[in-house]
Structure formats: structure tokens, C-alpha cells
Chain A
């Protein structure tokens, strides 16, 4: 089965740029979605199909996908961005999630 690998944690200084990676075999050939989840809340879609932002998501959130790595980039990180982030793809009619990355804003 297809696997997605994310770092357990990423730290970023307030106002700096955070990058969260999602590794998978030839993931560049798939559509990658990213979700933000704060404690006690349902996930929120922040990027769909690699680099598209849903309505209401700040421009500070961007995404890219190539080769074996997809990346979620959060510019000018804010305290409110502190959350768990999950990548997700479809493989053989099955939705696959990465293990999640905890973003800490210092």
C-alpha cells in the first residue's frame, strides 16, 4: 500500500517561513491535499491539488509537489498557525493520509 511520510514536528520562529514535507513514491504524479487540524477541532482543508487555496485560506499558505516530495509552505508564520498538518493523496481508489506534522511557532 502507498505510504506518505511526514516529519513528526517542525518549529518556526514567529514571522518566519515554515516548510512541511510529505514524502511518497513519485508523489509528484499525484494530487496532494493539505489539512490543518487544531486541538479538539475537525481538520480544515488549506491546500488542494498541490497548490490551490480554498476560499478563505490566507495567501501565506502555499504548496508545491515534484518528484518524491510535496511541500506545504507557511510564510510569515503566526501563533494561530500552530496546529497539526496532514497531507493526503488518492492511490488505487483509497485515500491515504500522512502521519501528520505538529507545527510549533516559537
Chain B
């Protein structure tokens, strides 16, 4: 069965960086985009960007350009999202989610369990 398992909660100081991992299993890792979506406390969903695990190519939301880096390690079917220069308003739950790469989008059909990142001095 498809599973996306994320790394554990993090507490960071303002200005620091955080790197969240998302380990995929139960499907061909290189066959699906991996997206990152965040949700601040009590707020809605916000798309951050995606990575093509096959090529490593990325697309980032304009809001996060210059602060976010998405990478992957195909040998262990794991995607990573690193956010730098953290601010208090980056406090959120960060999710990974997959979508097909071939054919029309089918939505984000599987999601990780979420990783809480708290930014506090």
C-alpha cells in the first residue's frame, strides 16, 4: 500500500533552516511528482512547490522562491524540503503529497502524516 512517512516535529529559532523528509513506499517513487503543502495553525492549505523525483526538476511557489529547496534521493525513495531564514509565521504543519506525472492531474491522492515545524525564539 502507498505510504508517505515524514520526519518528526522540529523546533527552530528565527533565522535558522529546517529540512523535512518524506519517505515513499508502495509505489514507483520516480513515477509521481512530490509536492509540499503547509498549513499554519487554524489556517488553510498553502502549496509550496513540487519536485519531479525522476529528473530532480522543481517548481516553487513564488512566495517561497529563494527560501525553499526541494531535493530527493531516489536510492531511498525519499523527498526533502528545506526552508531557510525561518520566521515565526513559518510555524505550520508541513505535508508532502504526490500527484501523477503522466496524463491529467488526479489531485493529491496520498499525503504524509504532516510535520509540525515551530519557529520560536
List the interface of chain A (C-beta within 8 A of B).
Answer: 31, 33, 35, 37, 42-45, 47-49, 52, 54, 86, 88, 90, 93-100
Contact = CB atoms under 8 A, between A and B. Distances in A.
Contact of A33 (B37, B105, B113): B105
Given A42-B114, A54-B109, A49 B104 contact: yes
B29 interface: no
A35 B47 contact: no
Contacts of B97: 43
B47 A96 contact: yes
Contacts of B37: 95, 97
Nearest to A47: B107
Secondary structure type dominating chain A contacts? strand
B112 A48 contact: no
A43 B109 contact: no
Contacts of B62: 94
28 contacts: A31-B104, A33-B105, A33-B108, A35-B108, A42-B111, A42-B113, A43-B95, A43-B108, A43-B111, A44-B111, A45-B107, A48-B105, A49-B104, A49-B107, A88-B107, A88-B108, A93-B59, A94-B47, A94-B59, A94-B61, A95-B47, A95-B50, A96-B47, A97-B37, A97-B44, A97-B46, A98-B44, A99-B44
Contact of B108 (A45, A47, A49, A52): A45
B45 interface: yes
